[in-house]
Amino acid sequence: MIRALVYLQLTSLKNAVQGRFKRLRNPRYFFAALVGAAYFYFIIFRNGAPQPPQLPNGHVLPVEPLPAASWLEPLGALMLFVAVVLTWILPNSRAALAFTEAEVTFLFPAPVPRKALVHFKLIKSQTGILLSSAILTLISNRWTILGGSAWIHAVGWWLIFSLYSLHLIGASFSRERLLGFGINATRRRLIACGILVLIGAVTWFWMGRALARPSASDVENITSLVRYFETVLACPPLNWVLVPFCWVVRPFLATNLVELLSAVWPVMLLIGWHYLWVLRSNVAFEEASVALSQKRAERAAAMRAGHWRTQAPSKKRREPFELASTGFPSAAFLWKSLIAAGPVYYPKYWFMAGGVLFAGFYWFLHDPVYAPVVKAIGVSLGAIGVYGLFFGPVLARRGLALMLENMDLLKGYPLRGWQVVLGELLCPVTILCAFEWVVLALLGLALVLSPEGRGLGAGVLGSGLMSAGLLVVPLAAMLFALNYAGALYFPAWMSATTQHGAGIEKVGQRLIFFVGYLIVLVVALLPSLLFGAVPFLLCYLYLDGLAMAIAFGSATACAVLVGELAIAIRWLGRRFERFDLTAELPRA
C-alpha cells in the first residue's frame, strides 16, 4: 500500500512539473518566468557564497568558519516555542487533512485504511518540505554568522519543517479529541493562555531573585543586550521549556559532520514520537477533510474563473458607525467595507490599541537606563512606518481583485465613476492611516525620550510629527489609487498577481507589476517634492525657523498631493465608467 501511495505522489509531482512547463508556451507566462529566473540569479546565485577577504596582492586570508553564536540557539528555540503554542491557541477548525477533490473521490471510498491515508498525507507533505528547505538553504547559506555548510543547513531545515508538520497534524487530532471531552475552543485557549501566564510569572519571579536589574552597560550596545537576553532565556522554568526546542534548532547550527550527528538523534526521537502520536490518534478526520477539499476546490475554480469571493461571515457583525440615510455616497462604501473587514479594523479599536501601546512604551522607556533601547525602537518604528506606507498597498491587492469581481454590481449604482472610485479607496486608506498614526505616536514618544529627539526641540519635533501625520493621508490615498489604476488598466495582470499558486512565473509577474508601480510612484511624487521644497527653503533661509519651514513645506506638498489625487480620482472615474470586464479580462 505504501509503495502505491509513493507511486501516486511521484506521478502527481511529475504531471505538475510538466504542466508548469506547458504553461510557458503562453508568452505572458514565459516572459514572467524569464524575469523571475533573472531575479533569482542576480539575487541568490550570481554572487554565490560569501568569499573570504583578499589582500591587494591577490592572496586570500585564511578565515575559519564562523561558529553559530550562542544566542542563536535559544532565540530559534523561543521562535519555535511561540509557533507551537499558536497551533494550540489560534485554530478553530475541526481535524482535517488537506486532500484534493480527486484524492477524496478515489481514496476515501476505496478499501484504504485510515493509517494509509495519514501516510499518504505525510508523503505528500515532503514535496513542499523539501522545496522549502532547498529555497531557505540558498538564502541561509549567505549568512556567515551561521557557519556550517549548505548541506548541513538543508538537513537542519528539513528536520525543523518535518517535525513542525507532524506537530500540526498531531495537534489538530488532539484538539479534536479534546472536543470529545467537552473542552471547546474557548476553554482550550484559556488553558493554554493560563499555562503561558504561569510560565511567564514563574520566570519573572525567578529573574527577580537570580538576575539583577539591567544596568546601562547591559543595554549600551547590541552585544551586551544579546548577552543579557541569553541570561533571561537561561532562567527557569523558561529554559526547561525550551530544552526540546533547542534540540530541534541544534542540527541547523552545526558547523561540521560530527556536531551534526551528535545533534540529530534527539530530533529523530522527537520525529518518531510525533509519528507514533499521529498514527495512534484514533480521530475521525474524513468528514472534515471532505468538506475542506470541497472548499479548496470551489476556491480554485473561482480563481480560474476570475472570481475571488471570500466566505461570508458566520455571524452578524456590528456596524462601525451609524450610517445616515442621506449624505456623501462614498461614505457608504467605507461603512460597508469596514463591516466586511471585521471588527479588528474599526477605528475605535485602533485608538484603544494605540493608547495601550503608548502607555506601555512610556512606562518601559521613561527610565534613562533604556536610552539605547529607545534609540533602537525609534529606528525600528521609522522603518516599519515607511515599509507599511509604501508596501502596504502592494500587499493589499486582494480587495482590488474582489472589486473586479463585483464590477457589474458597482457599475449598476446610480453614482458617478469618481464617487465609486473614492468610495473604494476610503476603507484601505483609513486602515493604513490608522496604522501609520499609531506608529507615528510611538515614534514621537521614542524621540521625546531620547537625547537626540530632545535636542531637536519641541517645535521642530512637533512640527515634523504633525507634518508627517498630515502627509500620510494623501500619500496613502495616492498609493492605493496607483494600485486601483493597475486593476482598471491591466486587469489580466492584476488577476495573475493576486491568484495563489507557485511557480517562477508568478514571481516574475509580481516583480514586473511592482517595478511599474515604483516608476509611476516616483513620477507622481516629483511635483509635490519640488513644490514643497520652495517654501521650505525660503522659510529656512530667510525666516531662520526649521519648524516653520517644515510646516510650510509639508503643507505645500500636501496641497499638491491632494490636487494630484483629485485629478487621479476623476481620471480613474472616467476609466471606471468605460470599463468592460468581459472584454478586458480574457480567459488564460
Give the pLDDT confidence of 174-189 residue by residue, as tens digits.
887 787 777 888 888 8
| Percent residues over pLDDT 70 in the chain | 69
Residue 36 lies in a domain: no
- Decide if pLDDT at 43 tops 80: no
Distance of CA 456 to the CA centre of its chain: 35
Of residues 45 and 502, which shows the higher confidence score? Answer: 45
Torsion sign (Cα): 308, 309, 313, 318:
positive
- Decide if pLDDT at 384 tops 80: yes
274 and 352 fall within a common domain: no
370 and 274 fall within a common domain: no
| Percent residues over pLDDT 90 in the chain | 7
- Decide if pLDDT at 130 tops 80: yes
- Decide if pLDDT at 558 tops 80: yes
Answer yes or no: are the C-beta atoms of 263 and 252 closer than 8 Å: no
What CA–CA distances, in Å, run from 360 to 365, 366, 566?
8, 10, 39
293 and 338 fall within a common domain: no
pLDDT single digits (tens) 362-382: 776 676 666 666 777 777 888
CA distance 498 to 517: 15
CA distance 5 to 313: 38
Q: End of a domain among 255, 276, 298?
A: 298
Residue 498, number of CB atoms within 10 A of its CB:
20
Range of the domain at 293: 69-298
CA distance 492 to 508: 15
The residues, ordered by sequence, that sit 6+ positions from 224 with a Cβ below 8 Å of its Cβ are: 217, 218
Give CB contacts under 8 A, 24+ apart, made by 11-17: 13/127
- Across residues 386-405, what is the average pLDDT? 74
Least confident of 5-9, 111-115, 497-501: 497-501
pLDDT at 266 (0 to 100): 92
Which run of H or E residues covers position 285?
Answer: none
CA distance 265 to 248: 10
pLDDT at 560 (0 to 100): 92
Residue 61's SS3 state is: coil
- Decide if pLDDT at 268 tops 90: yes
360 and 427 fall within a common domain: yes
The residues, ordered by sequence, that sit 6+ positions from 522 with a Cβ below 8 Å of its Cβ are: none
232 and 335 fall within a common domain: no
- Decide if pLDDT at 3 tops 80: no
Of residues 63 and 523, which shows the higher confidence score? Answer: 523
pLDDT single digits (tens) 187-213: 888 888 888 888 888 877 877 777 766
pLDDT at 80 (0 to 100): 92
- Decide if pLDDT at 424 tops 70: yes
Place of cell 446610480: 414
CA distance 570 to 245: 56
Cis peptide leading into residue 237 (ω within 30°): yes
pLDDT single digits (tens) 437-478: 888 888 888 887 777 767 777 788 888 889 888 999 998 888
- Across residues 420-427, what is the average pLDDT? 86
Least confident of 76-90, 170-184, 302-316: 302-316
96 and 204 fall within a common domain: yes
276 and 344 fall within a common domain: no
Place of cell 540557539: 73
181 and 102 fall within a common domain: yes
Residue 580's SS3 state is: coil
pLDDT at 559 (0 to 100): 92
Residue 47 lies in a domain: no
Residue 60's SS3 state is: strand
Residue 16 lies in a domain: no
- Decide if pLDDT at 587 tops 50: no
Answer yes or no: are the C-beta atoms of 536 and 550 closer than 8 Å: yes
Residue 297, number of CB atoms within 10 A of its CB:
14
Answer yes or no: are the C-beta atoms of 5 and 480 closer than 8 Å: no
Place of cell 467605507: 334
CA distance 169 to 302: 28
CA distance 324 to 564: 30
Least confident of 288-297, 416-425, 526-535: 288-297
Distance of CA 151 to the CA centre of its chain: 28
433 and 580 fall within a common domain: yes
CA distance 159 to 90: 24
- Across residues 389-397, what is the average pLDDT? 75
Residue 10 lies in a domain: no
Nearest by Cα to 472 from 520, 423, 432:
432
265 and 337 fall within a common domain: no
Phi, psi of 110 (to 5 degrees): -75, 160
Phi, psi of 500 (to 5 degrees): -75, 155
Residue 309 lies in a domain: no
Residue 45 lies in a domain: no
Which run of H or E residues covers position 539?
Answer: none
CA distance 113 to 144: 48
Place of cell 469581481: 405
Residue 412 lies in a domain: yes
pLDDT at 307 (0 to 100): 46
Total residues belonging to the chain: 588
Place of cell 458566520: 314
Cell output for 429: 486608506
pLDDT at 217 (0 to 100): 67
Of residues 562 and 51, which shows the higher confidence score? Answer: 562
The residue type found at 29 is: Y
Q: End of a domain among 279, 298, 317?
A: 298
- Decide if pLDDT at 156 tops 80: yes
Report how many domains make up the chain.
2
183 and 240 fall within a common domain: yes
Question: What is the rounded average pLDDT for all residues in the chain?
Answer: 76
- Decide if pLDDT at 28 tops 80: no
Least confident of 255-269, 383-397, 500-514, 554-568: 500-514
- Decide if pLDDT at 274 tops 80: yes
Residue 503 lies in a domain: yes
pLDDT single digits (tens) 335-349: 888 887 777 776 677
- Decide if pLDDT at 269 tops 90: yes
Q: End of a domain among 247, 281, 298?
A: 298
- Decide if pLDDT at 585 tops 60: no
235 and 343 fall within a common domain: no
